[in-house]
Amino acid sequence: MQQIRRNRRLRTNDAIRSLVRENIITPHDFLVPLFIVEGKDVKEEIPSMPNYYRYSLDLLGNEVKELWSLGLKSVLLFVKVPDHLKDNKGTEALNSDGLMQRAIKTVKEAVPEMLVMTDVALDPYSSYGHDGIVEDGQIINDETCKILAEMSLSHAQAGADFVAPSDMMDGRILSMRELLEKENYKNTGIMSYSAKYASAFYGPFRDALDSAPGFGDKKTYQMDFANRDEAIKETLMDIEEGADIVMVKPGLCYLDMVRDIRDVVDVPVAVYQVSGEYAMLKAAAEKGWLDHDAVMLEQIMAFKRAGAQIIASYFAKDVVKLLN
């Protein structure tokens, strides 16, 4: 039989490939994680995350202005809390003049239109490095939810647009939503880390914030990476409880979950390309074993192809500079 259909016709040159391309990457896809520390004039590189930095508040404004000028309009804030302020209940998290609360104001002063999302979890504030209150070696769920709700309110009062709980306690979305509604923060959104797996890919992040668990691991609250149906259940429950955006984390090893979830939910789906994913590419590129920029773009496109509408990535700035 004479061959009539030839797929290669649509790949003949760059123009036709561009014309038929199914997905594109734009600056609007990204959520930029930012690490913030106390101090003055601090821009310190995180050893396991080359070319990624912790900033003190006086330098944060400039960084945020640069992001805005590149078309990056959303940031996700994380703070590194000094050891002497850590305790079991994360008391410092509720300090209206705490580092997170000041960071929110700093970003909003520098670029009022910047969308500010904040990490809501106890681990950076916990003397145990866990995402909840510890009692007899256990992570206590319901009492933790109450603190997470108060933390969300505190961030909203400081000016956060969205709060992003990364803890995986049961019922925390409902606790947070109810308190925000009651206190009249009706437009403060919740981006839930709804399918967050217990992953070894978070290692460099824990270096960045000095937040590694002091005992045990996080497997009693974060998900077993063998599970697929459970991620759907977690995500649908969070939407019922009031999540505006849901998330899959980590990214590349969990693209199947991004697609599964995108297919069944009616809210935007975010993915978090985590620190270990960033570190792997940086290390391989440093050794000359991978083409950094080409692999970076291929990975980001994989998130879009899988169905992610929001990509939290340490590569955001690099990608956007490359696109320009």
Catalytic residues: 196, 249
Is residue 131 near Mg ion by the rule CB under 5 A?
A: no
Q: Is 150 annotated as a binding residue?
A: no
Half-sphere exposure of 314 (CA within 13 A, CB side): 27
Cis peptide before 250 (omega within 30 of 0): yes
Which one of ligand FVT, Mg ion, none interacts with residue 234, CB within 5 to 8 A by kind? Mg ion
Residue 217 CB, nearest approach to Mg ion (Å): 18
Restricting to residues 80-109, name those near ligand FVT by CB under 6 A.
none
Which one of ligand FVT, Mg ion, none interacts with residue 166, CB within 5 to 8 A by kind? ligand FVT
Nearer to ligand FVT, 93 or 111 (CB): 93
Nearer to ligand FVT, 36 or 111 (CB): 36
Residue 173 CB, nearest approach to ligand FVT (Å): 16
Chain centroid offset of residue 194 CA = 11
Q: Do 149 and 172 touch, CB atoms closer than 8 A?
A: yes
Restricting to residues 220-259, name those near Mg ion by CB under 5 A.
234
Residue 235 CB, nearest approach to Mg ion (Å): 8
The whole-angstrom separation of Cα 324 and Cα 313 is: 18
The whole-angstrom separation of Cα 118 and Cα 142 is: 21
Tokens of 103: 């960071």
Binding mask 120-139 for ligand FVT (x = CB under 6 A): -x------------------
- Could you tell me which of 179, 173, 188 has the C-alpha nearest to residue 236? 173
Residue type for position 11? R
Is residue 151 classed as helix, strand or coil in its secondary structure? helix
Among 152, 154, 166, 192, binds ligand FVT (CB under 6 A): 166
Nearer to ligand FVT, 111 or 235 (CB): 235
Nearer to ligand FVT, 35 or 185 (CB): 35
Which one of ligand FVT, Mg ion, none interacts with residue 274, CB within 5 to 8 A by kind? ligand FVT
Residue 228 CB, nearest approach to ligand FVT (Å): 21
Please give the torsion angle defined by the CA atoms of residues 297, 299, 303 and 305, in that order, rounded to the nearest 10 degrees. Answer: 70
Number of helices followed by number of strands (H, E) in the chain: 11, 12
Tokens of 53: 């930095």
Residue 172 CB, nearest approach to Mg ion (Å): 7
- Any bridge partners for residue 43, and if so which? 55
- Residue sitting closest to Mg ion (CB): 234
- Residue sitting closest to ligand FVT (CB): 205
Any long-range contacts for 42-50 (C-beta under 8 Å, 24+ apart)? 46/204, 46/207, 46/208, 47/207, 48/203, 48/204, 48/207, 48/208, 48/275, 48/279, 49/204, 49/205, 49/207, 49/208, 49/275, 49/278, 49/279, 49/282, 49/314, 50/279, 50/282, 50/286
Among 128, 202, 221, 303, binds ligand FVT (CB under 6 A): 202
Binding mask 204-233 for ligand FVT (x = CB under 6 A): -x----------------------------
| DSSP 8-state code for residue 224 | P
- Could you tell me which of 282, 271, 272, 253 has the C-alpha nearest to residue 46? 282
Restricting to residues 257-296, name those near ligand FVT by CB under 6 A.
274-275
Nearer to ligand FVT, 125 or 205 (CB): 205
Residue 274 CB, nearest approach to ligand FVT (Å): 3
Residue numbering of the annotated binding site: 234
Residue numbering of the annotated binding site for Mg(2+): 234
Binding site for Mg ion (CB under 5 A): 234
Binding site for ligand FVT (CB under 6 A): 119, 121, 166, 202, 205, 274-275
